[in-house]
Amino acid sequence: MITHATFKFLKELKANNNREWFNANKPRFEEVKDEFESFIATLIPRIAAFDPAIAQLEPKKCIFRIYRDTRFSKEKTPYKTNLGAHLVAFAQKPHDRAGYYVHLEPGNVFLAGGAYMPPAPWLRAIRQSIDREGKALTKILHSAGFKKYFGEMEGEKLKTRPNDYPEEHPYIELLRYKSFLAVHPVSDKDATSENFAEHCARVFKALKPFDDFLNKSLE
């Protein structure tokens, strides 16, 4: 279970994003990290109930480091002010395949999945799948479960059409996407409830057909 202590720490970290404060509060961070890892450990078997490929994941390896890579960024604060975990099978890198993402940040908690800025080969493969099976993706996006938890697919889009596809293509609007995302916002209050893991599992079960469509393009 995620406690209010996690949100309190993240709020204070945002206000004191420097090494001196972080080092002084390192024991608190370790408790927060352990709590989040325990939560992910309880979530994995719940997801594995409908996606068995997830069952063997190690919670620790699903969680993103809190340390920011500032080498190529104008933003030089050393720490992320959120906790994130991506539960995905068969991926070599975090964004290689669609999976199940948990994002904890005060005032910005969400569950998500899909393909975020997929590498060019995967983006090309997704568009080829839409070209061949756009009806299947449309059916997923209009399903009751997807509409209930995610509303509509999100993601940055091209202003024009992608190369190799005519403007009159029946699925041209789907083909314009550069990211294919499903995002479900959660309140801070709900994220600290005893039922949060069960809620995550319900949301991710509704997400699975969408992820499956995107991952199938890699086969």
The residues that bridge with 109 in the sheet, in sequence order, are: 186
Identity (one letter) of the amino acid at 132? R
**Of 35, 11, 28, the residue nearest 107 (C-alpha):** 11
Q: What pLDDT score was predicted for residue 93?
A: 64
How high is the pLDDT of residue 219? 86
For 114, counting Cβ atoms within 10 Å of its Cβ (0-12 exposed, 13-18 middle, 19+ buried), the class is buried
The pLDDT of residue 184: 98
Domain total of the chain: 1
Per DSSP, helices labelled H in the chain are: 4-15, 19-24, 26-48, 59-62, 120-141, 144-150, 172-175, 188-191, 196-216
Q: What six digits make up the tokens of 28?
A: 């608190």
CATH code for position 156: 3.30.930
pLDDT in tens, the chain (219 residues): 999 999 999 999 999 999 999 999 999 999 999 999 999 999 999 999 999 999 999 999 999 999 988 777 777 899 999 999 999 987 666 568 999 999 999 999 999 999 999 999 999 999 999 999 999 999 999 999 999 999 999 999 999 999 899 999 999 999 999 999 999 999 999 999 999 999 999 999 999 999 999 999 998
pTM reported for the whole predicted model: 0.94
Q: In sequence order, what DSSP letters do the residues of 40-56 get, joined into one string?
A: HHHHHHHHHTT-GGGTT
Q: Which residues contact 167 (CB under 8 A, 6 or more apart)?
A: 161
- Predicted pLDDT of residue 90: 79
HSE (side-chain half, CA atoms, 13 Å) at 58 = 2
Maximal CA-CA distance, the chain: 60
123 with 70: CB under 8 angstroms?
Answer: no
Domain span including residue 141: 4-216
Per-residue model confidence (pLDDT) at position 109: 98
